[in-house]
C-alpha cells in the first residue's frame, strides 16, 4: 500500500486524471464542509480555463461561450458522506493506493461517490477550454490546444447532495439561477461502472398509522393493540408484486417495502399507536401523485400520509446528443434504479443520464475505491464525444 501525498493546493487540472482524483479526495468535504474544496475548484477553473465561472454558496458553475447550437451539462457533487467510524478503514481521508499511484486502485472516501467523476469534469474543462486557448501558444512555444469541443459545455459542481433535499446545492441553483442550468442534455457523473444509466426511479416515503387503546398488559382485554392492528399493512406489502415497467426501452424494476416500524411506550403497556414507514421506488412513467395514489389504494382503510418524495426521470436517450454518446460508450444502456439528481434536470426540461467511473455498490462503504483505469476510460469516452 502506497500512501497518497498530502493535498497540494491549488489543484492542478492538467495532471493525470486519477492523480487529480486523489488530490480531490484528500481535501475532506463531508456534507456541510465543502467550502475548502469549492474554493480550490473555483480557483483552478478561473486560473486554468477560459470558462465563465459563477459561484452560488459552495456550488460552482463554469460555462463555455463558443456559440454552438447545442449545450450539454456535466454535473457532479463535491460532498461526501461522513468518514468511516471503523478503525483502520481504507475508505477514508487521505486516500491511499494499491500499486503505483496513477496505475493501481485508489482507496478513500469519495473515490467512487464521486470524486472520480468530478476529476473527469475538471480534466475536461482544462483540456477543452484552456486559459491560453486564445493566445496561440501554450506558454512553452507550442501551439495552444484551442477549445475543440463540438458543443458548448456547462460544468456544474455542487454541494450538499448527500443530505436532505432541502439543502441541495443543485436545488438551490435551480431556484436562484435556473438560467445557469439551461441546456439540451445533461450527464450526471455518478458512478455507473462506465455504463450509461438512463433516467432514474422516483421515490416516495409514507407513514401508515394505526391507533389503539392503551391498557396494562396484565389486563390486555381492556385495551386495543395498535401494533397488532398494523399486521394487515405488513401482509398487504408482503403480498404485493412490484412491477417492472418499460420506459423508452429500459426496464425499471419497482419496489415497495416497509422500511421501519415504531410503537409502544413500555414493556407493560398495550400500545395505543403504531407507525409503519413505507418506501416506494417507482418507475419514471408515474408522477409523484400517481405513486402516492397507488400506495393509498393498496392500503385503503388506513391513515396514510406522505412524508417525503421525489419524481423520477425518463431516460432521455431519444435526444440526438444522448444517442451519439451511447454510441461512443459502446455499451447497452441500463436503467438507474436509485434516485439521482438527473430528476432535477428532468424537472427543468433537460433530459439527463448517469455516467461515471466506479462501482455504485461501493458508494458510502468503508472500503470505497476506484481503479485508475476506470477514471481514464470515463474521461476518454466523454472527450471523444464532446470533440466529435
Which of the residues 79, 113, 197, 359 is marked catalytic? 79
Q: Which residues pair with 241 in a beta bridge?
A: none
Instruction: Give the whole-angstrom CA distance, residue 3 versus residue 94.
Output: 8
Instruction: Give the whole-angstrom CA distance, residue 203 versus residue 288.
Output: 8
Instruction: Give the whole-angstrom CA distance, residue 223 versus residue 225.
Output: 7
Whether 79 is catalytic: yes
Cell of 310: 421525489
Instruction: Give the whole-angstrom CA distance, residue 374 versus residue 165.
Output: 29
Q: Which residues pair with 269 in a beta bridge?
A: 216
Whether 103 is catalytic: no
Is there a contact between 196 and 329 (Cβ–Cβ < 8 Å)? yes
Buried b (16+ CB within 10 A) or exposed e, 45-57: bbebbbbebebbe
CA distances from 350 to 80, 247, 314, 346 (A): 25, 17, 10, 5
| H and E: helices and strands count for the chain | 10, 20
Which of the residues 42, 58, 113, 161 is marked catalytic? 161
Cell of 83: 468518514
Is the C-alpha dihedral spanning 163, 43, 73, 372 positive or negative? negative
Alpha helices, H only, the chain: 17-25, 35-48, 116-128, 169-176, 226-229, 231-239, 288-298, 320-329, 342-347, 372-387
**With 0-12 CB in 10 A as exposed, 13-18 as middle and 19+ as buried, what is 327?**
exposed
Cβ-proximal residues to 226 (8 Å cutoff; 6+ apart), any chain:
210, 211, 212, 263, 271, 272, 273, 274
Instruction: Give the whole-angstrom CA distance, residue 253 versus residue 327.
Output: 25
Cell of 313: 426521470
163-167: long-range contacts (C-beta < 8 A, 24 or more apart)?
A: 163/31, 163/32, 163/79, 165/308, 165/310, 167/31
Q: Which amino acids are annotated catalytic?
A: 79, 161
Amino acid at each position: 500500500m502506497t500512501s497518497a501525498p498530502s493535498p497540494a493546493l491549488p489543484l492542478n487540472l492538467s495532471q493525470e486524471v486519477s492523480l487529480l482524483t486523489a488530490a480531490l479526495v484528500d481535501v475532506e468535504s463531508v456534507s456541510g464542509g465543502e467550502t475548502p474544496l469549492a474554493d480550490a475548484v473555483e480557483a483552478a477553473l478561473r486560473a486554468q480555463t477560459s470558462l465563465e465561472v459563477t459561484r452560488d454558496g459552495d456550488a460552482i458553475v463554469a460555462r463555455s461561450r463558443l456559440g454552438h447550437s447545442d449545450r450539454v451539462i456535466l454535473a457532479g457533487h463535491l460532498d461526501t458522506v461522513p468518514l468511516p467510524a471503523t478503525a483502520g478503514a481504507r475508505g477514508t481521508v487521505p486516500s491511499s493506493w494499491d500499486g503505483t499511484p496513477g496505475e493501481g486502485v485508489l482507496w478513500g472516501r469519495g473515490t467512487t461517490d464521486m470524486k472520480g467523476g468530478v476529476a473527469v469534469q475538471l480534466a475536461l474543462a482544462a483540456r477543452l477550454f484552456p486559459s491560453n486557448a486564445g493566445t496561440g501558444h501554450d506558454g512553452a512555444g507550442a501551439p495552444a490546444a484551442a477549445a475543440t469541443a463540438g458543443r458548448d459545455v456547462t460544468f456544474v459542481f455542487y454541494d450538499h447532495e448527500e443530505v436532505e433535499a432541502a439543502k441541495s446545492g443543485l436545488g438551490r441553483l435551480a431556484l436562484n439561477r435556473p438560467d445557469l442550468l439551461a441546456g439540451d442534455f445533461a450527464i450526471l457523473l455518478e458512478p455507473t461502472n462506465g455504463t450509461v444509466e438512463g433516467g432514474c426511479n422516483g421515490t416516495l416515503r409514507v407513514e401508515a398509522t394505526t391507533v389503539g387503546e392503551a391498557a396494562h398488559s396484565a389486563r390486555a382485554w381492556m385495551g386495543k393493540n395498535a401494533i397488532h392492528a398494523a399486521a394487515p399493512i405488513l401482509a398487504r406489502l408482503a403480498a404485493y408484486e412490484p412491477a417492472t415497467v418499460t420506459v423508452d426501452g429500459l426496464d425499471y424494476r419497482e419496489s415497495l417495502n416497509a422500511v421501519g416500524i415504531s410503537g409502544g411506550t413500555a414493556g407493560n403497556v398495550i400500545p395505543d399507536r403504531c407507525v409503519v414507514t413505507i418506501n416506494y421506488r417507482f418507475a419514471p412513467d408515474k408522477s409523484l401523485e400517481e405513486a402516492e395514489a397507488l400506495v393509498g389504494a393498496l392500503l385503503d382503510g388506513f391513515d396514510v400520509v406522505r412524508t417525503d418524495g421525489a419524481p423520477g426521470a425518463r431516460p432521455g436517450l431519444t435526444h440526438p446528443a444522448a444517442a451519439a454518446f451511447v454510441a461512443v460508450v459502446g455499451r447497452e444502456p441500463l436503467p438507474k434504479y436509485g434516485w439521482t439528481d438527473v430528476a432535477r434536470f428532468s424537472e427543468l426540461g433537460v433530459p439527463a443520464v448517469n455516467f461515471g467511473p466506479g462501482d455504485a455498490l461501493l458508494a458510502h462503504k468503508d472500503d470505497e475505491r476506484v481503479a485508475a483505469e476506470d477514471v481514464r476510460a470515463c474521461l476518454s469516452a466523454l472527450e471523444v464525444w464532446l470533440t466529435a
